[in-house]
Amino acid sequence: MSVPDSEIDHDLLAFMRQALTGTLQPKNPQKLKTYVLESAQYIVDNGIDVALSREHIVKAAEHIYSAMQAKQYSTDTWSIHELHPKAKTRETVDFIFTMDLLNFSFWSEMDVETRFAVEYNGKRWTGYWSLVAALQRALDEGIPITCPYFWVDEQICSEELFKHIFRSATDEDIPLLPERIACLREAGQVVCERYDGTFANMIDEADFSATALVVMLADELSCFRDEHVFEGRRVNFYKRAQILVADLWACFGGESFGEFHDIDELTMFADYRVPVTLTMLHCLQFGPKLEAHIKAKKMIPSGSSWECQLRGASVWCVEMIRREILKRHPKVNINAALIDFYLYDTAKEMEALGAEGLPHHRTRSIWY
Protein backbone atom coordinates (compact mmCIF):
# COMPACT_ATOMS: atom_id res chain seq x y z
CA MET A 1 0.00 0.00 0.00
CA SER A 2 1.59 3.33 -1.10
CA VAL A 3 1.43 6.37 1.24
CA PRO A 4 0.09 9.55 -0.42
CA ASP A 5 2.91 12.09 -0.91
CA SER A 6 1.02 14.66 1.17
CA GLU A 7 1.46 12.41 4.21
CA ILE A 8 5.20 11.87 3.79
CA ASP A 9 7.38 13.93 6.13
CA HIS A 10 10.20 14.73 3.68
CA ASP A 11 12.29 16.53 6.32
CA LEU A 12 12.15 13.48 8.58
CA LEU A 13 13.05 11.24 5.63
CA ALA A 14 16.03 13.46 4.73
CA PHE A 15 17.20 13.49 8.37
CA MET A 16 16.95 9.69 8.57
CA ARG A 17 18.82 9.31 5.26
CA GLN A 18 21.65 11.57 6.51
CA ALA A 19 21.76 9.75 9.87
CA LEU A 20 21.96 6.35 8.13
CA THR A 21 24.64 7.53 5.67
CA GLY A 22 26.64 9.46 8.28
CA THR A 23 26.23 12.75 6.41
CA LEU A 24 24.30 14.51 9.20
CA GLN A 25 25.28 18.20 9.28
CA PRO A 26 25.16 19.86 12.78
CA LYS A 27 22.66 22.77 12.86
CA ASN A 28 25.42 25.28 13.63
CA PRO A 29 28.55 23.61 12.26
CA GLN A 30 31.08 24.72 14.88
CA LYS A 31 34.05 24.01 12.65
CA LEU A 32 33.13 26.65 10.05
CA LYS A 33 36.27 28.23 8.61
CA THR A 34 36.68 31.77 7.23
CA TYR A 35 39.64 30.78 4.98
CA VAL A 36 41.19 34.23 5.56
CA LEU A 37 44.50 32.80 6.76
CA GLU A 38 44.60 30.33 3.86
CA SER A 39 43.88 33.22 1.48
CA ALA A 40 46.70 35.29 3.00
CA GLN A 41 49.18 32.44 2.69
CA TYR A 42 48.17 31.86 -0.95
CA ILE A 43 48.68 35.56 -1.72
CA VAL A 44 52.12 35.66 -0.06
CA ASP A 45 53.16 32.48 -1.87
CA ASN A 46 52.01 33.81 -5.26
CA GLY A 47 52.56 37.59 -5.04
CA ILE A 48 55.74 39.36 -6.22
CA ASP A 49 55.25 42.98 -5.10
CA VAL A 50 55.19 42.64 -1.30
CA ALA A 51 57.78 40.69 0.67
CA LEU A 52 57.95 39.73 4.33
CA SER A 53 61.25 40.07 6.17
CA ARG A 54 61.65 37.18 8.59
CA GLU A 55 64.53 38.89 10.38
CA HIS A 56 62.43 41.99 11.07
CA ILE A 57 59.36 39.94 11.98
CA VAL A 58 61.32 38.15 14.71
CA LYS A 59 62.56 41.51 16.07
CA ALA A 60 59.10 43.11 15.78
CA ALA A 61 57.50 40.20 17.64
CA GLU A 62 59.74 40.73 20.68
CA HIS A 63 59.25 44.51 20.50
CA ILE A 64 55.46 44.21 20.24
CA TYR A 65 55.30 41.62 23.03
CA SER A 66 57.38 43.80 25.38
CA ALA A 67 55.40 46.95 24.54
CA MET A 68 52.05 45.20 25.04
CA GLN A 69 53.23 43.80 28.37
CA ALA A 70 54.54 47.19 29.48
CA LYS A 71 51.22 48.82 28.56
CA GLN A 72 49.28 45.89 30.06
CA TYR A 73 47.51 45.95 26.71
CA SER A 74 44.39 43.75 26.91
CA THR A 75 40.74 43.66 25.93
CA ASP A 76 40.20 46.19 28.76
CA THR A 77 42.01 48.77 26.60
CA TRP A 78 39.05 48.78 24.21
CA SER A 79 36.65 50.37 26.68
CA ILE A 80 39.21 52.91 27.89
CA HIS A 81 38.92 54.80 24.60
CA GLU A 82 36.86 57.95 25.36
CA LEU A 83 34.24 57.37 22.67
CA HIS A 84 33.76 53.62 22.93
CA PRO A 85 30.59 52.52 24.78
CA LYS A 86 31.24 51.28 28.33
CA ALA A 87 27.96 49.55 29.31
CA LYS A 88 27.87 45.80 28.77
CA THR A 89 24.32 45.83 27.38
CA ARG A 90 22.31 44.94 24.26
CA GLU A 91 22.35 48.65 23.38
CA THR A 92 26.15 48.38 23.17
CA VAL A 93 25.81 45.31 20.94
CA ASP A 94 23.60 47.38 18.61
CA PHE A 95 26.12 50.24 18.73
CA ILE A 96 29.04 47.98 17.78
CA PHE A 97 27.02 46.37 14.96
CA THR A 98 26.15 49.83 13.56
CA MET A 99 29.74 51.02 13.96
CA ASP A 100 31.29 48.06 12.14
CA LEU A 101 28.72 48.19 9.35
CA LEU A 102 30.14 51.67 8.63
CA ASN A 103 33.76 51.22 9.72
CA PHE A 104 35.48 51.88 6.40
CA SER A 105 37.32 54.36 4.20
CA PHE A 106 37.86 57.50 6.29
CA TRP A 107 41.10 58.54 4.65
CA SER A 108 41.21 61.97 3.01
CA GLU A 109 43.36 63.84 0.47
CA MET A 110 42.81 67.03 2.50
CA ASP A 111 45.09 68.20 5.29
CA VAL A 112 44.31 67.80 8.99
CA GLU A 113 42.53 71.18 9.16
CA THR A 114 40.23 70.67 6.16
CA ARG A 115 39.56 66.91 6.15
CA PHE A 116 36.15 65.51 7.15
CA ALA A 117 35.77 65.90 10.93
CA VAL A 118 32.97 65.48 13.46
CA GLU A 119 32.58 67.87 16.38
CA TYR A 120 31.59 66.06 19.59
CA ASN A 121 32.32 66.49 23.31
CA GLY A 122 34.09 69.77 22.49
CA LYS A 123 36.63 68.08 20.22
CA ARG A 124 37.10 67.49 16.49
CA TRP A 125 37.34 63.80 15.62
CA THR A 126 38.71 62.43 12.34
CA GLY A 127 39.15 59.00 10.76
CA TYR A 128 37.61 56.03 12.56
CA TRP A 129 36.88 58.22 15.58
CA SER A 130 34.77 60.56 13.47
CA LEU A 131 32.40 57.63 12.88
CA VAL A 132 32.17 56.74 16.57
CA ALA A 133 31.66 60.42 17.45
CA ALA A 134 28.90 60.83 14.85
CA LEU A 135 27.03 57.81 16.22
CA GLN A 136 27.36 58.99 19.83
CA ARG A 137 26.23 62.50 18.80
CA ALA A 138 23.18 61.11 17.00
CA LEU A 139 22.16 59.07 20.05
CA ASP A 140 22.62 62.17 22.26
CA GLU A 141 20.29 64.00 19.83
CA GLY A 142 17.66 61.26 20.32
CA ILE A 143 18.13 59.71 16.87
CA PRO A 144 17.83 55.86 17.11
CA ILE A 145 20.74 55.37 14.69
CA THR A 146 21.59 51.93 16.12
CA CYS A 147 18.12 50.47 15.54
CA PRO A 148 17.64 48.19 12.46
CA TYR A 149 13.91 49.03 12.32
CA PHE A 150 14.92 52.67 11.95
CA TRP A 151 17.34 51.89 9.09
CA VAL A 152 14.62 50.29 6.94
CA ASP A 153 12.12 53.16 7.35
CA GLU A 154 13.19 55.45 4.47
CA GLN A 155 10.51 58.04 5.40
CA ILE A 156 11.83 58.73 8.90
CA CYS A 157 15.41 57.57 8.28
CA SER A 158 15.85 59.72 5.18
CA GLU A 159 19.01 60.61 3.25
CA GLU A 160 18.63 64.15 4.64
CA LEU A 161 18.75 62.78 8.17
CA PHE A 162 21.86 60.73 7.36
CA LYS A 163 23.52 63.91 6.06
CA HIS A 164 22.63 65.55 9.38
CA ILE A 165 23.99 62.61 11.41
CA PHE A 166 27.30 62.62 9.52
CA ARG A 167 27.56 66.40 9.16
CA SER A 168 31.13 67.65 9.04
CA ALA A 169 32.85 70.42 10.97
CA THR A 170 34.73 71.22 7.74
CA ASP A 171 33.82 71.62 4.06
CA GLU A 172 34.66 67.99 3.34
CA ASP A 173 31.81 65.47 3.67
CA ILE A 174 32.16 61.92 4.93
CA PRO A 175 33.40 59.70 2.10
CA LEU A 176 31.01 57.14 0.51
CA LEU A 177 27.83 58.32 2.32
CA PRO A 178 25.50 56.60 -0.22
CA GLU A 179 27.38 53.34 0.29
CA ARG A 180 27.13 53.69 4.07
CA ILE A 181 23.38 54.25 3.82
CA ALA A 182 23.09 51.14 1.60
CA CYS A 183 24.94 49.07 4.22
CA LEU A 184 22.47 50.05 6.93
CA ARG A 185 19.43 49.54 4.68
CA GLU A 186 20.59 46.03 3.72
CA ALA A 187 21.51 45.09 7.31
CA GLY A 188 18.21 46.48 8.56
CA GLN A 189 16.23 44.39 6.11
CA VAL A 190 18.06 41.14 6.93
CA VAL A 191 18.11 41.62 10.72
CA CYS A 192 14.43 42.65 10.85
CA GLU A 193 13.29 39.82 8.58
CA ARG A 194 15.42 37.01 9.99
CA TYR A 195 16.58 38.01 13.49
CA ASP A 196 13.60 39.78 15.04
CA GLY A 197 15.26 43.19 14.60
CA THR A 198 18.31 42.69 16.79
CA PHE A 199 21.86 41.64 15.94
CA ALA A 200 22.06 39.97 19.37
CA ASN A 201 19.94 37.14 17.89
CA MET A 202 22.55 36.62 15.17
CA ILE A 203 25.22 36.30 17.88
CA ASP A 204 23.05 33.68 19.62
CA GLU A 205 22.69 31.78 16.33
CA ALA A 206 26.50 31.59 16.03
CA ASP A 207 26.51 29.59 19.25
CA PHE A 208 29.71 31.13 20.80
CA SER A 209 31.74 30.64 17.59
CA ALA A 210 33.62 33.66 16.21
CA THR A 211 34.26 31.97 12.86
CA ALA A 212 30.61 30.93 12.54
CA LEU A 213 29.52 34.53 13.16
CA VAL A 214 32.00 35.87 10.59
CA VAL A 215 30.79 33.34 8.01
CA MET A 216 27.14 34.10 8.79
CA LEU A 217 27.74 37.84 8.35
CA ALA A 218 29.49 37.30 5.01
CA ASP A 219 26.86 34.80 3.84
CA GLU A 220 23.81 36.86 4.77
CA LEU A 221 25.03 40.44 4.23
CA SER A 222 26.71 41.40 0.95
CA CYS A 223 28.20 44.48 2.65
CA PHE A 224 30.38 42.16 4.76
CA ARG A 225 31.28 39.88 1.82
CA ASP A 226 34.90 41.07 1.55
CA GLU A 227 35.94 38.47 -1.07
CA HIS A 228 38.14 39.03 -4.13
CA VAL A 229 39.99 37.09 -6.83
CA PHE A 230 43.80 36.88 -6.82
CA GLU A 231 45.72 34.92 -9.46
CA GLY A 232 42.57 32.98 -10.41
CA ARG A 233 41.53 32.04 -6.85
CA ARG A 234 38.95 33.49 -4.49
CA VAL A 235 40.54 35.16 -1.47
CA ASN A 236 38.64 36.16 1.69
CA PHE A 237 39.60 39.04 4.00
CA TYR A 238 36.31 39.63 5.86
CA LYS A 239 37.87 42.64 7.57
CA ARG A 240 34.71 44.30 8.94
CA ALA A 241 33.04 40.99 9.86
CA GLN A 242 36.13 39.98 11.83
CA ILE A 243 36.63 43.35 13.54
CA LEU A 244 32.93 43.35 14.48
CA VAL A 245 33.40 40.05 16.32
CA ALA A 246 36.67 41.27 17.85
CA ASP A 247 35.05 44.53 19.01
CA LEU A 248 32.29 42.51 20.75
CA TRP A 249 34.91 40.22 22.33
CA ALA A 250 37.04 43.14 23.55
CA CYS A 251 34.15 45.30 24.72
CA PHE A 252 32.53 42.48 26.72
CA GLY A 253 35.85 41.10 27.96
CA GLY A 254 35.25 37.68 26.44
CA GLU A 255 31.97 37.23 28.32
CA SER A 256 28.26 37.58 27.58
CA PHE A 257 27.86 38.87 23.99
CA GLY A 258 31.64 38.73 23.70
CA GLU A 259 32.11 35.06 24.57
CA PHE A 260 33.66 33.11 21.67
CA HIS A 261 35.46 29.78 22.21
CA ASP A 262 37.44 30.21 18.96
CA ILE A 263 38.33 33.94 19.09
CA ASP A 264 41.99 33.01 18.47
CA GLU A 265 40.95 31.88 14.97
CA LEU A 266 40.39 35.51 13.92
CA THR A 267 43.15 37.08 11.82
CA MET A 268 44.44 40.66 11.64
CA PHE A 269 41.88 43.05 10.09
CA ALA A 270 43.20 43.98 6.64
CA ASP A 271 42.79 47.78 6.56
CA TYR A 272 44.97 50.70 5.32
CA ARG A 273 46.38 51.79 8.69
CA VAL A 274 48.13 48.73 10.19
CA PRO A 275 50.22 48.00 7.04
CA VAL A 276 51.87 51.41 7.68
CA THR A 277 53.11 50.21 11.08
CA LEU A 278 54.28 46.90 9.60
CA THR A 279 56.32 48.76 6.98
CA MET A 280 57.76 51.11 9.62
CA LEU A 281 58.90 47.96 11.47
CA HIS A 282 60.37 46.80 8.11
CA CYS A 283 58.32 43.60 8.35
CA LEU A 284 56.65 44.38 5.01
CA GLN A 285 58.78 45.46 2.05
CA PHE A 286 57.33 46.70 -1.24
CA GLY A 287 58.72 46.33 -4.75
CA PRO A 288 60.03 49.59 -6.26
CA LYS A 289 57.02 50.20 -8.54
CA LEU A 290 54.48 49.65 -5.76
CA GLU A 291 56.50 51.72 -3.28
CA ALA A 292 56.78 54.62 -5.76
CA HIS A 293 53.02 54.39 -6.42
CA ILE A 294 52.16 54.55 -2.69
CA LYS A 295 54.68 57.37 -2.06
CA ALA A 296 53.05 59.34 -4.90
CA LYS A 297 49.68 58.84 -3.11
CA LYS A 298 48.19 57.35 -6.26
CA MET A 299 44.97 55.31 -6.07
CA ILE A 300 45.11 51.51 -5.98
CA PRO A 301 41.89 49.91 -7.26
CA SER A 302 39.86 47.74 -4.88
CA GLY A 303 40.37 44.05 -5.67
CA SER A 304 43.51 44.70 -7.74
CA SER A 305 46.58 42.47 -7.46
CA TRP A 306 48.56 45.13 -5.58
CA GLU A 307 45.73 45.70 -3.12
CA CYS A 308 45.24 41.97 -2.47
CA GLN A 309 48.99 41.62 -1.90
CA LEU A 310 49.06 44.56 0.56
CA ARG A 311 46.13 43.09 2.52
CA GLY A 312 47.14 39.43 2.32
CA ALA A 313 50.76 40.13 3.29
CA SER A 314 49.57 42.20 6.29
CA VAL A 315 47.35 39.35 7.49
CA TRP A 316 50.12 36.79 7.07
CA CYS A 317 52.71 39.10 8.66
CA VAL A 318 50.65 39.51 11.85
CA GLU A 319 50.13 35.73 11.92
CA MET A 320 53.94 35.27 11.76
CA ILE A 321 54.36 37.84 14.57
CA ARG A 322 51.72 36.01 16.63
CA ARG A 323 53.51 32.67 16.16
CA GLU A 324 56.90 34.20 17.07
CA ILE A 325 55.47 35.69 20.27
CA LEU A 326 53.86 32.40 21.31
CA LYS A 327 57.08 30.48 20.47
CA ARG A 328 58.98 32.57 23.04
CA HIS A 329 56.15 33.16 25.49
CA PRO A 330 53.84 30.10 25.23
CA LYS A 331 51.75 31.10 28.23
CA VAL A 332 50.92 34.66 27.14
CA ASN A 333 47.31 35.41 26.32
CA ILE A 334 47.76 37.16 22.96
CA ASN A 335 45.99 36.58 19.63
CA ALA A 336 45.93 38.23 16.18
CA ALA A 337 42.98 40.46 17.13
CA LEU A 338 44.77 41.93 20.15
CA ILE A 339 48.03 42.38 18.22
CA ASP A 340 46.04 44.14 15.50
CA PHE A 341 44.29 46.47 17.95
CA TYR A 342 47.69 47.31 19.45
CA LEU A 343 49.22 47.99 16.00
CA TYR A 344 46.30 50.23 15.01
CA ASP A 345 46.48 52.23 18.24
CA THR A 346 50.25 52.50 17.84
CA ALA A 347 49.83 53.73 14.24
CA LYS A 348 47.48 56.47 15.51
CA GLU A 349 49.90 57.44 18.28
CA MET A 350 52.77 57.68 15.78
CA GLU A 351 50.58 59.68 13.37
CA ALA A 352 49.74 62.10 16.22
CA LEU A 353 53.47 62.48 16.94
CA GLY A 354 54.05 63.31 13.29
CA ALA A 355 56.12 60.19 12.73
CA GLU A 356 56.64 60.23 8.98
CA GLY A 357 56.39 56.71 7.59
CA LEU A 358 55.37 55.68 4.15
CA PRO A 359 51.88 57.07 3.45
CA HIS A 360 49.06 54.53 3.74
CA HIS A 361 47.85 53.06 0.45
CA ARG A 362 44.81 54.67 -1.14
CA THR A 363 41.93 52.39 -2.04
CA ARG A 364 38.38 53.63 -1.81
CA SER A 365 35.94 50.80 -0.94
CA ILE A 366 33.41 49.66 1.62
CA TRP A 367 35.63 46.78 2.74
CA TYR A 368 37.95 48.70 5.10
Ligand X SMILES: Nc1nc2c(c(CN[C@H]3C=C[C@H](O)[C@@H]3O)cn2[C@@H]2O[C@H](COP(=O)(O)O)[C@@H](O)[C@H]2O)c(=O)[nH]1
Chosen residue from 107, 252, 260, 306 binding ligand X by CB under 6 A: 107
Specify which residues 234 forms β-bridges with: 229
Q: Does 307 bind ligand X (CB under 6 A)?
A: no
Q: Does 49 bind ligand X (CB under 6 A)?
A: no
The residue range among 13-21, 53-61, 180-188, 265-273 that interacts with ligand X, by the rule CB under 6 A, is 265-273
Number of residues that bind ligand X (CB under 6 A): 19
Catalytic residue flag (residue 196): no
Residue with Cβ nearer ligand X (152 or 309): 309
Site for ligand X in 315-344 (CB under 6 A): 340-341, 344
Q: Which residue is nearest to ligand X (CB)?
A: 127
The residue range among 55-63, 73-81, 171-179, 292-300 that interacts with ligand X, by the rule CB under 6 A, is 73-81
Q: Does 271 bind ligand X (CB under 6 A)?
A: yes
In angstroms, rounded to a whole number, what is the distance separating the alpha carbons of residues 46 and 1? 62
Chosen residue from 320, 345, 362, 364 binding ligand X by CB under 6 A: 345
Q: Does 81 bind ligand X (CB under 6 A)?
A: yes
Residue with Cβ nearer ligand X (128 or 208): 128
Q: Does 368 bind ligand X (CB under 6 A)?
A: yes
Q: Which of 94, 247, 271, 340 is catalytic?
A: 271
Q: Does 273 bind ligand X (CB under 6 A)?
A: yes
Q: Does 179 bind ligand X (CB under 6 A)?
A: no
Instruction: State the minimum distance, in angstroms, from the CB of residue 103 to ligand X.
Output: 4
The residue range among 25-33, 206-214, 253-261, 272-280 that interacts with ligand X, by the rule CB under 6 A, is 272-280
Q: Does 220 bind ligand X (CB under 6 A)?
A: no
Which chain residues interact with ligand X by CB under 6 A?
77-78, 81, 103-104, 106-107, 127-128, 269, 271-274, 340-341, 344-345, 368
- Which residues are tagged catalytic? 271
